[in-house]
Structure 1
Amino acid sequence: MSLTPSKMLKLGTQAPNFELPDSISRSLLSLEKLRGEKGTIIMFICNHCPYVKHVNNEVVRLANDYRILGFSFVAISSNDVKAYPQDHPEQMFKTARQLNYPFPYLYDESQEVARAYNAACTPDFYVFDESLKLVYRGQLDDSRPKNGIPTSGRSIREALDALLNNRPVPQLQKPSMGCNIKWRSY
Protein backbone atom coordinates (compact mmCIF):
# COMPACT_ATOMS: atom_id res chain seq x y z
CA MET A 1 0.00 0.00 0.00
CA SER A 2 1.29 3.41 -0.95
CA LEU A 3 -0.49 6.35 0.72
CA THR A 4 -1.56 8.58 -2.15
CA PRO A 5 -3.57 11.85 -2.26
CA SER A 6 -6.19 12.86 -4.85
CA LYS A 7 -4.89 14.80 -7.82
CA MET A 8 -7.78 17.29 -7.50
CA LEU A 9 -9.23 17.52 -11.02
CA LYS A 10 -10.04 21.13 -11.99
CA LEU A 11 -13.41 22.36 -10.75
CA GLY A 12 -15.86 22.97 -13.60
CA THR A 13 -14.56 19.98 -15.59
CA GLN A 14 -17.29 18.16 -17.51
CA ALA A 15 -17.68 14.57 -16.29
CA PRO A 16 -15.90 12.23 -18.71
CA ASN A 17 -18.38 9.84 -20.29
CA PHE A 18 -18.07 6.09 -19.80
CA GLU A 19 -19.81 2.79 -20.35
CA LEU A 20 -18.65 0.04 -18.01
CA PRO A 21 -19.87 -3.36 -16.82
CA ASP A 22 -21.63 -3.41 -13.47
CA SER A 23 -20.40 -6.21 -11.22
CA ILE A 24 -23.83 -6.39 -9.56
CA SER A 25 -26.32 -6.42 -12.45
CA ARG A 26 -23.83 -7.76 -15.01
CA SER A 27 -25.01 -5.13 -17.50
CA LEU A 28 -23.20 -2.29 -19.25
CA LEU A 29 -24.04 1.06 -17.68
CA SER A 30 -23.21 4.52 -19.00
CA LEU A 31 -22.78 7.83 -17.23
CA GLU A 32 -25.79 9.16 -19.12
CA LYS A 33 -27.95 6.32 -17.80
CA LEU A 34 -26.64 6.70 -14.24
CA ARG A 35 -26.64 10.48 -13.82
CA GLY A 36 -28.79 11.98 -11.10
CA GLU A 37 -31.39 14.72 -11.41
CA LYS A 38 -29.67 16.90 -8.78
CA GLY A 39 -26.12 15.60 -9.16
CA THR A 40 -23.87 12.59 -9.62
CA ILE A 41 -21.23 11.27 -7.26
CA ILE A 42 -18.47 9.18 -8.84
CA MET A 43 -16.36 7.18 -6.38
CA PHE A 44 -13.20 5.28 -7.22
CA ILE A 45 -12.98 2.45 -4.70
CA CYS A 46 -11.81 -1.15 -4.48
CA ASN A 47 -12.21 -4.15 -2.20
CA HIS A 48 -8.81 -4.52 -0.58
CA CYS A 49 -7.83 -0.96 0.44
CA PRO A 50 -8.02 -0.32 4.21
CA TYR A 51 -8.98 3.31 3.52
CA VAL A 52 -12.00 2.18 1.51
CA LYS A 53 -12.91 -0.42 4.13
CA HIS A 54 -12.74 2.35 6.74
CA VAL A 55 -15.35 4.51 4.94
CA ASN A 56 -17.57 1.85 3.35
CA ASN A 57 -20.38 2.02 5.91
CA GLU A 58 -20.51 5.83 5.74
CA VAL A 59 -20.52 5.75 1.93
CA VAL A 60 -23.55 3.44 2.05
CA ARG A 61 -25.28 5.76 4.59
CA LEU A 62 -24.45 8.81 2.45
CA ALA A 63 -25.86 7.20 -0.69
CA ASN A 64 -29.01 6.09 1.10
CA ASP A 65 -29.52 9.58 2.54
CA TYR A 66 -29.07 11.46 -0.74
CA ARG A 67 -30.38 9.08 -3.43
CA ILE A 68 -33.94 9.93 -2.38
CA LEU A 69 -33.12 13.62 -2.91
CA GLY A 70 -32.15 13.15 -6.57
CA PHE A 71 -28.46 12.31 -6.38
CA SER A 72 -26.94 9.33 -8.14
CA PHE A 73 -23.96 7.40 -6.76
CA VAL A 74 -21.60 5.31 -8.87
CA ALA A 75 -18.63 3.27 -7.61
CA ILE A 76 -15.83 2.29 -9.98
CA SER A 77 -12.90 -0.06 -9.42
CA SER A 78 -9.98 0.38 -11.80
CA ASN A 79 -7.37 -1.80 -10.12
CA ASP A 80 -5.29 -4.38 -11.96
CA VAL A 81 -6.97 -7.65 -10.97
CA LYS A 82 -4.04 -9.79 -12.06
CA ALA A 83 -1.92 -8.19 -9.36
CA TYR A 84 -4.86 -7.76 -6.93
CA PRO A 85 -7.30 -10.65 -7.48
CA GLN A 86 -9.39 -9.55 -4.48
CA ASP A 87 -10.54 -6.65 -6.69
CA HIS A 88 -11.85 -8.95 -9.46
CA PRO A 89 -15.48 -8.34 -10.54
CA GLU A 90 -16.60 -11.58 -8.86
CA GLN A 91 -15.19 -10.30 -5.58
CA MET A 92 -16.69 -6.87 -6.28
CA PHE A 93 -20.10 -8.54 -6.57
CA LYS A 94 -19.61 -10.27 -3.21
CA THR A 95 -18.50 -7.06 -1.49
CA ALA A 96 -21.41 -5.07 -2.93
CA ARG A 97 -23.90 -7.68 -1.72
CA GLN A 98 -22.28 -8.06 1.69
CA LEU A 99 -22.27 -4.29 2.32
CA ASN A 100 -25.65 -3.66 0.61
CA TYR A 101 -24.26 -1.12 -1.85
CA PRO A 102 -27.23 0.98 -3.01
CA PHE A 103 -25.32 1.94 -6.16
CA PRO A 104 -23.69 0.17 -9.11
CA TYR A 105 -20.12 -1.06 -8.70
CA LEU A 106 -18.48 -0.79 -12.12
CA TYR A 107 -15.29 -2.42 -13.33
CA ASP A 108 -12.86 -0.30 -15.37
CA GLU A 109 -10.67 -3.06 -16.80
CA SER A 110 -8.90 -0.81 -19.33
CA GLN A 111 -8.27 1.82 -16.62
CA GLU A 112 -9.24 4.46 -19.21
CA VAL A 113 -12.01 5.86 -17.02
CA ALA A 114 -9.70 6.31 -14.02
CA ARG A 115 -7.24 8.11 -16.30
CA ALA A 116 -10.01 10.33 -17.73
CA TYR A 117 -11.02 11.37 -14.20
CA ASN A 118 -7.37 11.75 -13.14
CA ALA A 119 -8.13 9.39 -10.26
CA ALA A 120 -5.13 8.60 -8.09
CA CYS A 121 -6.29 6.76 -5.01
CA THR A 122 -8.99 4.70 -3.39
CA PRO A 123 -11.22 6.17 -2.23
CA ASP A 124 -11.36 9.17 -4.56
CA PHE A 125 -14.63 11.16 -4.74
CA TYR A 126 -16.07 13.46 -7.42
CA VAL A 127 -19.34 15.41 -7.14
CA PHE A 128 -20.90 16.70 -10.35
CA ASP A 129 -23.91 19.01 -10.53
CA GLU A 130 -27.07 18.37 -12.57
CA SER A 131 -25.26 19.40 -15.77
CA LEU A 132 -22.31 17.08 -14.95
CA LYS A 133 -19.88 19.90 -14.11
CA LEU A 134 -17.40 19.12 -11.32
CA VAL A 135 -18.21 21.05 -8.15
CA TYR A 136 -16.34 18.98 -5.55
CA ARG A 137 -13.45 16.51 -5.52
CA GLY A 138 -11.49 15.06 -2.66
CA GLN A 139 -12.15 13.45 0.68
CA LEU A 140 -15.29 11.99 2.20
CA ASP A 141 -14.42 13.59 5.56
CA ASP A 142 -11.47 14.04 7.91
CA SER A 143 -11.58 10.44 9.21
CA ARG A 144 -8.73 8.09 8.36
CA PRO A 145 -7.94 4.63 9.71
CA LYS A 146 -6.51 4.96 13.22
CA ASN A 147 -6.84 8.79 13.52
CA GLY A 148 -9.75 8.51 15.98
CA ILE A 149 -12.11 10.77 14.00
CA PRO A 150 -15.43 9.02 13.28
CA THR A 151 -16.66 8.86 9.70
CA SER A 152 -19.42 11.35 8.93
CA GLY A 153 -19.23 12.08 5.20
CA ARG A 154 -19.14 15.74 6.21
CA SER A 155 -17.11 17.08 3.27
CA ILE A 156 -19.36 15.51 0.65
CA ARG A 157 -22.56 16.16 2.64
CA GLU A 158 -21.68 19.88 2.70
CA ALA A 159 -21.23 19.87 -1.08
CA LEU A 160 -24.50 18.00 -1.68
CA ASP A 161 -26.42 20.24 0.73
CA ALA A 162 -25.08 23.30 -1.10
CA LEU A 163 -26.31 21.88 -4.43
CA LEU A 164 -29.72 21.09 -2.92
CA ASN A 165 -30.09 24.61 -1.57
CA ASN A 166 -28.70 26.43 -4.64
CA ARG A 167 -25.74 27.72 -2.65
CA PRO A 168 -22.10 27.75 -3.75
CA VAL A 169 -20.24 24.57 -2.93
CA PRO A 170 -17.48 25.23 -0.36
CA GLN A 171 -14.23 26.03 -2.16
CA LEU A 172 -12.01 24.62 0.60
CA GLN A 173 -11.68 21.03 -0.59
CA LYS A 174 -9.17 18.60 0.87
CA PRO A 175 -7.70 15.74 -1.16
CA SER A 176 -8.73 12.24 -0.34
CA MET A 177 -6.00 9.91 0.90
CA GLY A 178 -5.76 6.21 0.33
CA CYS A 179 -4.10 3.40 -1.54
CA ASN A 180 -2.83 4.27 -4.98
CA ILE A 181 -4.79 2.89 -7.91
CA LYS A 182 -3.09 -0.33 -8.96
CA TRP A 183 -2.10 0.46 -12.54
CA ARG A 184 -1.32 -2.37 -14.92
CA SER A 185 2.26 -2.64 -16.03
CA TYR A 186 2.66 -3.04 -19.74
Structure 2
Amino acid sequence: MANTSSNMLPLETKAPDFTLLDTVSNSVINLNSFKGVQGTVIMFICNHCPFVIHVNSQLVRIANMYTKAGIAFIAISSNDANNYPQDGPKNMKIHAKNEGYPFPYLYDETQNIAKAYDAACTPDLYVFDKDLKLKYRGQLDDSRPGNGLPVTGNDLKHALDCLIENKENTQIQKPSIGCNIKWK
Protein backbone atom coordinates (compact mmCIF):
# COMPACT_ATOMS: atom_id res chain seq x y z
CA MET A 1 0.00 0.00 0.00
CA ALA A 2 1.77 3.13 -1.25
CA ASN A 3 1.29 6.37 0.65
CA THR A 4 0.80 9.15 -1.89
CA SER A 5 -0.12 12.71 -0.87
CA SER A 6 -2.43 15.19 -2.58
CA ASN A 7 -0.80 17.78 -4.83
CA MET A 8 -2.84 20.57 -3.20
CA LEU A 9 -4.23 22.50 -6.17
CA PRO A 10 -4.11 26.27 -5.40
CA LEU A 11 -7.14 27.68 -3.61
CA GLU A 12 -9.49 29.79 -5.78
CA THR A 13 -8.70 27.59 -8.82
CA LYS A 14 -11.78 27.30 -11.03
CA ALA A 15 -13.04 23.71 -11.24
CA PRO A 16 -12.19 22.23 -14.62
CA ASP A 17 -15.42 21.31 -16.37
CA PHE A 18 -16.13 17.72 -17.33
CA THR A 19 -18.76 15.47 -18.80
CA LEU A 20 -18.36 11.85 -17.72
CA LEU A 21 -20.36 8.63 -17.55
CA ASP A 22 -22.08 7.92 -14.24
CA THR A 23 -21.59 4.19 -13.83
CA VAL A 24 -24.58 3.91 -11.48
CA SER A 25 -27.27 5.51 -13.65
CA ASN A 26 -25.55 4.91 -17.03
CA SER A 27 -26.16 8.58 -17.80
CA VAL A 28 -23.74 11.37 -18.58
CA ILE A 29 -23.08 13.98 -15.87
CA ASN A 30 -21.77 17.46 -16.61
CA LEU A 31 -20.21 19.41 -13.74
CA ASN A 32 -21.84 22.74 -14.61
CA SER A 33 -25.32 21.26 -14.73
CA PHE A 34 -24.82 19.09 -11.61
CA LYS A 35 -23.07 21.59 -9.31
CA GLY A 36 -24.67 22.40 -5.97
CA VAL A 37 -26.48 25.60 -5.03
CA GLN A 38 -24.05 26.15 -2.12
CA GLY A 39 -21.06 24.18 -3.38
CA THR A 40 -19.72 20.98 -4.85
CA VAL A 41 -17.48 18.26 -3.46
CA ILE A 42 -15.45 16.33 -6.02
CA MET A 43 -13.85 13.14 -4.72
CA PHE A 44 -11.31 11.04 -6.59
CA ILE A 45 -11.82 7.55 -5.21
CA CYS A 46 -11.71 3.94 -6.39
CA ASN A 47 -13.06 0.55 -5.35
CA HIS A 48 -9.98 -1.27 -4.08
CA CYS A 49 -7.85 1.31 -2.23
CA PRO A 50 -7.66 0.53 1.52
CA PHE A 51 -7.63 4.27 2.28
CA VAL A 52 -10.94 4.76 0.45
CA ILE A 53 -12.46 1.60 1.95
CA HIS A 54 -11.47 3.00 5.35
CA VAL A 55 -13.52 6.19 4.83
CA ASN A 56 -16.38 5.04 2.55
CA SER A 57 -19.09 4.98 5.22
CA GLN A 58 -18.13 8.47 6.42
CA LEU A 59 -18.20 9.83 2.86
CA VAL A 60 -21.73 8.46 2.50
CA ARG A 61 -22.77 9.93 5.87
CA ILE A 62 -21.36 13.37 5.04
CA ALA A 63 -22.93 13.39 1.57
CA ASN A 64 -26.32 12.49 3.05
CA MET A 65 -25.98 15.29 5.64
CA TYR A 66 -24.75 18.08 3.39
CA THR A 67 -26.76 17.39 0.26
CA LYS A 68 -29.74 18.78 2.18
CA ALA A 69 -27.77 22.03 2.60
CA GLY A 70 -27.26 22.47 -1.15
CA ILE A 71 -23.90 20.74 -1.53
CA ALA A 72 -23.54 18.39 -4.52
CA PHE A 73 -21.21 15.39 -4.25
CA ILE A 74 -19.50 13.73 -7.20
CA ALA A 75 -17.13 10.75 -7.02
CA ILE A 76 -14.72 10.02 -9.86
CA SER A 77 -12.53 6.99 -10.48
CA SER A 78 -9.62 7.61 -12.83
CA ASN A 79 -7.75 4.36 -12.32
CA ASP A 80 -6.57 2.36 -15.31
CA ALA A 81 -9.27 -0.33 -15.56
CA ASN A 82 -7.20 -2.44 -17.96
CA ASN A 83 -4.59 -3.14 -15.29
CA TYR A 84 -7.01 -2.75 -12.35
CA PRO A 85 -10.27 -4.33 -13.60
CA GLN A 86 -11.81 -4.12 -10.12
CA ASP A 87 -11.94 -0.35 -10.75
CA GLY A 88 -13.73 -0.63 -14.10
CA PRO A 89 -17.23 0.75 -14.74
CA LYS A 90 -19.11 -2.54 -14.16
CA ASN A 91 -17.47 -3.05 -10.77
CA MET A 92 -17.85 0.64 -9.92
CA LYS A 93 -21.62 0.31 -10.31
CA ILE A 94 -21.73 -2.77 -8.06
CA HIS A 95 -19.46 -1.10 -5.49
CA ALA A 96 -21.52 2.11 -5.42
CA LYS A 97 -24.72 0.16 -4.81
CA ASN A 98 -23.13 -2.00 -2.11
CA GLU A 99 -21.75 1.07 -0.32
CA GLY A 100 -25.00 3.03 -0.71
CA TYR A 101 -23.38 5.95 -2.53
CA PRO A 102 -25.91 8.80 -2.64
CA PHE A 103 -23.80 10.51 -5.32
CA PRO A 104 -22.85 9.73 -8.91
CA TYR A 105 -19.73 7.62 -9.39
CA LEU A 106 -18.13 8.76 -12.64
CA TYR A 107 -15.56 6.96 -14.74
CA ASP A 108 -12.64 9.02 -16.10
CA GLU A 109 -11.45 6.55 -18.72
CA THR A 110 -8.97 8.93 -20.38
CA GLN A 111 -7.63 10.14 -17.01
CA ASN A 112 -7.82 13.68 -18.40
CA ILE A 113 -10.05 14.89 -15.57
CA ALA A 114 -7.70 13.59 -12.87
CA LYS A 115 -4.86 15.39 -14.65
CA ALA A 116 -6.91 18.60 -14.94
CA TYR A 117 -7.50 18.52 -11.17
CA ASP A 118 -3.89 17.51 -10.46
CA ALA A 119 -5.32 14.57 -8.49
CA ALA A 120 -2.67 12.23 -7.14
CA CYS A 121 -4.25 9.79 -4.73
CA THR A 122 -7.43 8.11 -3.58
CA PRO A 123 -9.15 9.64 -1.75
CA ASP A 124 -8.39 13.13 -3.04
CA LEU A 125 -11.07 15.64 -1.99
CA TYR A 126 -11.95 19.06 -3.41
CA VAL A 127 -14.57 21.53 -2.17
CA PHE A 128 -15.74 24.23 -4.57
CA ASP A 129 -18.09 27.11 -3.83
CA LYS A 130 -21.27 27.85 -5.80
CA ASP A 131 -19.13 29.56 -8.48
CA LEU A 132 -16.87 26.49 -8.69
CA LYS A 133 -13.87 28.19 -7.08
CA LEU A 134 -11.72 25.92 -4.90
CA LYS A 135 -12.12 26.53 -1.18
CA TYR A 136 -10.70 23.30 0.26
CA ARG A 137 -8.58 20.40 -0.90
CA GLY A 138 -7.00 17.61 1.04
CA GLN A 139 -7.89 15.06 3.65
CA LEU A 140 -11.17 13.89 5.13
CA ASP A 141 -9.57 13.80 8.59
CA ASP A 142 -6.45 12.46 10.34
CA SER A 143 -7.60 8.82 10.35
CA ARG A 144 -5.71 6.33 8.19
CA PRO A 145 -5.93 2.54 8.03
CA GLY A 146 -4.12 1.16 11.05
CA ASN A 147 -3.42 4.43 12.91
CA GLY A 148 -6.22 3.88 15.45
CA LEU A 149 -7.81 7.30 14.99
CA PRO A 150 -11.59 7.33 14.42
CA VAL A 151 -12.93 8.34 11.00
CA THR A 152 -14.80 11.57 11.78
CA GLY A 153 -14.68 13.55 8.54
CA ASN A 154 -13.90 16.63 10.64
CA ASP A 155 -11.66 18.41 8.11
CA LEU A 156 -14.17 18.05 5.27
CA LYS A 157 -17.15 18.90 7.50
CA HIS A 158 -15.40 22.02 8.80
CA ALA A 159 -14.68 23.13 5.22
CA LEU A 160 -18.30 22.56 4.24
CA ASP A 161 -19.61 24.40 7.32
CA CYS A 162 -17.36 27.38 6.49
CA LEU A 163 -18.64 27.36 2.93
CA ILE A 164 -22.30 27.22 3.96
CA GLU A 165 -21.82 29.92 6.63
CA ASN A 166 -19.79 32.06 4.20
CA LYS A 167 -16.80 32.10 6.58
CA GLU A 168 -13.15 31.82 5.69
CA ASN A 169 -11.67 28.44 6.51
CA THR A 170 -8.60 29.35 8.56
CA GLN A 171 -7.68 25.78 9.53
CA ILE A 172 -4.54 24.33 8.00
CA GLN A 173 -5.52 22.25 4.99
CA LYS A 174 -3.60 18.98 5.14
CA PRO A 175 -3.02 16.85 2.05
CA SER A 176 -4.91 13.63 1.76
CA ILE A 177 -2.85 10.46 1.83
CA GLY A 178 -3.83 7.34 -0.03
CA CYS A 179 -3.03 5.01 -2.88
CA ASN A 180 -1.67 6.65 -5.99
CA ILE A 181 -3.99 6.96 -8.97
CA LYS A 182 -3.23 4.02 -11.25
CA TRP A 183 -2.01 5.81 -14.37
CA LYS A 184 -1.92 4.20 -17.80
TM over 0.5: yes
Distance 2:149 2:171 in 1: 22
- Per-residue deviation, 1:76: 0.1
- For residues 1-186 of structure 1, the aligned pairs below 5 Å read 1-184=1-184
Q: Which amino acid aligns with 2:10?
A: K
- Distance verdict in 2 for CA 1:150–1:171, change over 3 Å: closer
3-state secondary structure, aligned to 1:17: coil
3-state secondary structure, aligned to 1:183: coil
Distance 2:116 2:169 in 1: 23
Sequence identity percentage: 58
- Per-residue deviation, 1:171: 4.5
Q: Which amino acid aligns with 2:139?
A: Q
Distance 1:11 1:145 in 2: 28
3-state secondary structure, aligned to 1:61: helix
3-state secondary structure, aligned to 2:40: strand
Q: Which amino acid aligns with 1:106?
A: L
- Per-residue deviation, 1:165: 1.1
Distance 2:126 2:166 in 1: 18
Distance 2:12 2:43 in 1: 17
Deviations 1:105-141 (A, max 9, x none): 0000000000000000000000000110000000000
- Per-residue deviation, 1:170: 2.6
User: Structure 2: which 5+ runs fail to align?
Assistant: none
User: Structure 1: which 5+ runs fail to align?
Assistant: none
Give the total of aligned pairs.
184
Deviations 1:42-92 (A, max 9, x none): 000000100000000000000001000000000000000011000010000
Distance 1:9 1:150 in 2: 27
Q: CA RMSD in A?
A: 0.7
